[in-house]
Amino acid sequence: ASERKTYIVHMAKSKMPASFDDHTYWYHSSLESVSDSAEMLYTYNNVVHGFSTRLTAEEAQSLENQPGILSVLPELKYELH
Amino acid sequence: TTRTPEFLGLEKSADLFPESGSVSEVIIGVLDTGIWPESKSFDDTGLGPVPSSWKGQCEEGTNFTSSTCNRKLIGARYFSKGYEATLGPIDESKESKSARDDDGHGTHTATTAGGSVVTGASLFGYASGTARGMATRARIAAYKVCWVGGCFSSDILAAMDKAIDDNVNVLSLSLGGGMSDYYRDSVAIGAFAAMEKGILVSCSAGNAGPSQYSLSNVAPWITTVGAGTLDRDFPAYVSLGNGLNYSGVSLYRGDSLSSKMLPFVFAGNASNVTNGNLCMMGTLIPEKVSGKIVLCDRGVNARVQKGAVVKAAGGAGMVLANTAANGEELVADAHLLPATTVGQKSGDLIKSYIFSDPNPTATILFEGTKVGIEPSPVVAAFSSRGPNSITPEILKPDVIAPGVNIIAGWSGSVGPTGLAIDTRRVGFNIISGTSMSCPHVSGLAALLKAAHPEWSPAAIRSALMTTANTACKNGQMIEDIATGKPSTPFDHGSGHVDPVSALNPGLVYDLNISDYLNFLCALNYTASQISSLARSNFTCDSSKKYSVTDLNYPSFAVSFQMGGGTGGTTVVKHTRTLTNVGSAATYKVSLHSQSESFKISVEPDSLTFTELNEKKSYAVTFTAGSMPSNTNSFGRIEWSDGKHIVRSPVAISWT
């Protein structure tokens, strides 16, 4: 249960509280609300409104229930063709 | 690549293609294993300044400086945070923490799409000629997302995100990851954003053929590319002690067997393990193979590794026999010892000889490169096949392109087999896969983008699809090498790309963002799923009836859910809109169906266009009776003004 995996977190940018000036602060705040130690790997601007991070399953589930979170999807591995 | 430019008609029709200046404004982004910048294919002689639209960078890293790029290779970035988060820090003694390609695959795909002209290219003399990418004047930007341990979706998304910022025009991804819903699939998500910005995304269909439902990258905003052969072969015959010869293929270069007949042994009889026939590492008994030619069965481990295993055990040569999984498809390899690959039928006959003769002998005769092979193209057995498992109503793959035995640029840090023990270094390598066909289409899309900068990604894809060939050079229908029978739209999509015809398709099936959003509504995606995929607050209109069959796709897939039912007929309607990209003309429809099991009707049957970009719609009705489930049937819809043929394949399935 404590094992961390990479997740891609999709945020509803339109639901960003007015108290945030910048969406990246909102992303960080959302992440910090479920984990003291998780760090962002990437924040995405064009392809996704959101970020990728390492979370435990419990943290991922908790994050999914936060306001403004669309989905918390586990990372997938792709292969060359 | 050599030969494929001629095979696709690019050389003969060079004057039809856009001026070099406009092509040099097009930037192809390649997400792959990185790049080998020293490849001659990235020579920037004669190229002007980097396009002013370019916002990318040449990122520094292991053995890669900001000055490594030039006017050809204009960008190089790497994305490893997701990879390292899962598998730990990159071991820089094994792979470069930079865009440098330690694998070869990324250099191969990038040079295929947009490599400069290189004279005197070959692999050990095989496939010799002048190598060039499809769009020789296009610029290349490399985004390294694949590492020794794989390609991770967080890195792929980051690379696509950056490529969009950088202002690429075409994205080429020769990778895939199974079959997820579009809102869970990072490639589909990234491709949606790219499409919104007018970037054409070309992806490989996958190498899981010939099984049905084996496609990757099937989102309708992606151009999905399967693989076919070209008219070139590398014959290497097995000559048996009984006087019979069997044809195979090989890229071996080195000391030959001098036509000397050597003892011949089946690997399964030279091993103590049950799967000894596969020539896995450490499974051959040296005393039983030393000085002999060994017959190994294909499967499980890499083909070239089997050769290395035979060599390590003291074998003098290898015959690699296809099994049912590969049939008669012959993929050539640069083996480390004299070796050839034979089809399943030949393999079975050779095994019969080994088992029946008390002292079997053989030799291998290498014949070099042969061109003009017919029939060609044929669909590669490995090329993934439809139906589309995510949305059966969207026919995939879209097209096929050359993907078997393709020569292109290679990394200087790895041998042509990719094996650690292969110390040979080559500037060009010959490999196979839908990875190789995808960048052909990426490069062709770059040419079309240069010729028609106003065309959307959907219009470019439509031009490639509706002009694709379903017949070989000899006039016969394209075959599926897996069956030896004519291939179907589930194998070849709209057909084999014909870039010369695609320059002037007459009409196109265009699509914009709202068309795709309506498509997502038709899939009953929730608002949250749509927002995850498309980053918009788009809400499906509950009063509107959405239908997947209304997506203005250049092909038709119709799924009748009446398997095993009795009596009655079912009707499915599709609507399409054609946009005139040629001169004023009247197009008339012609309908073709392979069987009496279904009927096609089109209303109206004639469309008159008087202006450029004029749009006209038509409705198609597919009517079918009851058929057993898993039955497929095929047809096509063609619009022609006498000069152009705008062809759409039709695939009907009963489930």
Query: If you average pLDDT over residues B624-646, what whole number do you get?
Result: 95
B150·A76 Cβ contact <8 A: no
Query: If you average pLDDT over residues B221-243, what whole number do you get?
Result: 97
Paired tokens of A4: 């961390």
Chain A touched by B177 (CB under 8 Å): yes
Q: Report the residue from A54, A76, A81 with minimal CB separation from B85.
A: A54
B154·A52 Cβ contact <8 A: yes
pLDDT tier at B562, thresholds 50, 70, 90: low
| Separation between Cα atoms, residue B431 and residue B325, nearest integer Å | 19
Best residue in B406, B526, B531 to probe A by mutation, most A CBs within 10 Å?
A: B531
A75·B152 Cβ contact <8 A: yes
Query: If you average pLDDT over residues B336-349, what whole number do you get?
Result: 97
A44·B150 Cβ contact <8 A: no
Q: What stretches of B52-177 adopt beta strand conformation (E)?
A: 73-78, 118-123, 126-131, 139-144, 146-147, 150-152, 170-173, 175-176
Is it the case that residue B538 has pLDDT exceeding 70? yes
The pLDDT of residue B13 is 79
**Torsion over CA: B474, B475, B480, B486 (sign):** negative
**Torsion over CA: A10, A16, A22, A26 (sign):** negative
The pLDDT of residue B258 is 78
The pLDDT of residue B567 is 61
Name the nearest CA neighbour of B202 among B174, B179, B163.
B174
Complete DSSP assignment for A50-71: EEEEEE-HHHHHHHHTSTTEEE
Chain B touched by A32 (CB under 8 Å): no
Is it the case that residue B563 has pLDDT exceeding 60? no
Closest chain B residue to A8, measured at CA: B154
The pLDDT of residue B564 is 47
> Is B108 one of the catalytic residues?
no
- CB burial of residue B315 (10 Å; 0-12, 13-18, 19+): buried
Which CB contacts under 8 angstroms, 24+ apart, belong to A56-64? Answer: A56/A1, A56/A2, A56/A3, A56/A4, A56/A5, A57/A1, A57/A3, A57/A5, A58/A1, A59/A34, A59/A35, A60/A5, A60/A7, A62/A34, A63/A7, A63/A9, A63/A30, A63/A31, A63/A33, A63/A34
Chain A environment of B29 (Cβ under 8 Å): none
The pLDDT of residue B473 is 77
Name the nearest CA neighbour of B148 among B227, B218, B68, B90.
B90
| Separation between Cα atoms, residue B153 and residue B607, nearest integer Å | 45
The pLDDT of residue A2 is 79
34-73 in chain A: CB under 8 A from chain B? 41-42, 44-49, 52, 54, 70-71, 73
Dihedrals phi, psi of B51, to nearest 5 degrees: -50, 140
Which is the catalytic residue, given B39, B41, B102, B105? B105
Instruction: For B40-90, write each residue's pLDDT tens digit.
Output: 999 999 999 999 999 999 999 999 999 999 999 999 999 999 999 999 999
Is it the case that residue B326 has pLDDT exceeding 60? yes
| Separation between Cα atoms, residue A8 and residue A50, nearest integer Å | 7
Shortest Cα–Cα distance, A62 to chain B (Å): 17
> Is B102 one of the catalytic residues?
no
The pLDDT of residue B425 is 98
pLDDT tier at B537, thresholds 50, 70, 90: confident
Query: If you average pLDDT over residues B631-649, what whole number do you get?
Result: 97
Instruction: For B105-151, write each residue's pLDDT tens digit.
Output: 999 999 999 999 999 999 999 999 999 999 999 999 999 999 999 99
75-134 in chain B: CB under 8 A from chain A? 79, 81-82, 85-86, 105
- Under 8 Å between Cβ of A40 and B559: no
Which is the catalytic residue, given B271, B384, B435, B437? B435
| Separation between Cα atoms, residue B601 and residue B606, nearest integer Å | 12
Query: If you average pLDDT over residues B215-226, what whole number do you get?
Result: 98
Q: Report the residue from B81, B206, B532 with minimal CB separation from A70.
A: B532
Is it the case that residue A1 has pLDDT exceeding 80? no
| Separation between Cα atoms, residue B512 and residue B619, nearest integer Å | 20
The pLDDT of residue B566 is 52
B206·A6 Cβ contact <8 A: no
Strands B248-249 and B262-266: unpaired
B204·A81 Cβ contact <8 A: yes
Instruction: For B147-176, write each residue's pLDDT tens digit.
Output: 999 999 999 999 999 999 999 999 999 999
B532·A77 Cβ contact <8 A: no
Nearest-Å Rg of the Cα atoms of chain B is 25
Is it the case that residue B257 has pLDDT exceeding 90? no
Is it the case that residue B411 has pLDDT exceeding 90? yes
Chain A touched by B153 (CB under 8 Å): yes
Q: What stretches of B517-595 adopt beta strand conformation (E)?
A: 556-560, 569-580, 585-593
A47·B157 Cβ contact <8 A: yes
DSSP state of B37: T
The pLDDT of residue B290 is 97
Query: If you average pLDDT over residues B523-548, what whole number do you get?
Result: 94
Sole residue written with tokens 């954003």: B193
Which is the catalytic residue, given B32, B103, B185, B333? B32
Closest chain A residue to B528, measured at CA: A70
Instruction: For B181-212, write each residue's pLDDT tens digit.
Output: 999 999 999 999 999 999 999 999 999 999 99
Tell me what ipTM this predicted complex has.
Answer: 0.98
Residue B248, beta-bridge partner list: B342
Closest chain B residue to A14, measured at CA: B537
| Separation between Cα atoms, residue B444 and residue B114, nearest integer Å | 9
The pLDDT of residue B534 is 95
B184·A73 Cβ contact <8 A: yes
DSSP state of B256: -
Is it the case that residue B550 has pLDDT exceeding 70? yes
Share above pLDDT 70 across residues of chain B, in percent, rounded to a whole number: 99
| Separation between Cα atoms, residue B545 and residue B559, nearest integer Å | 19
Shortest Cα–Cα distance, A58 to chain B (Å): 18
Shortest Cα–Cα distance, B229 to chain A (Å): 16
> Is B41 one of the catalytic residues?
no
Residue bearing the bigger pLDDT, B567 or B320? B320
Residue B226, beta-bridge partner list: B400
Mean pLDDT for chain B overall? 96
Name the nearest CA neighbour of B201 among B445, B526, B544.
B445
Q: Give the neighbor-by-neighbor strand order of the sheet with B317-321.
A: B245-246, B236-240, B361-366, B262-266, B293-297, B317-321, B339-342, B248-249
Is it the case that residue A24 has pLDDT exceeding 90? yes
Name the nearest CA neighbour of A46 among B191, B263, B259, B502.
B191
| Separation between Cα atoms, residue B41 and residue B563, nearest integer Å | 53
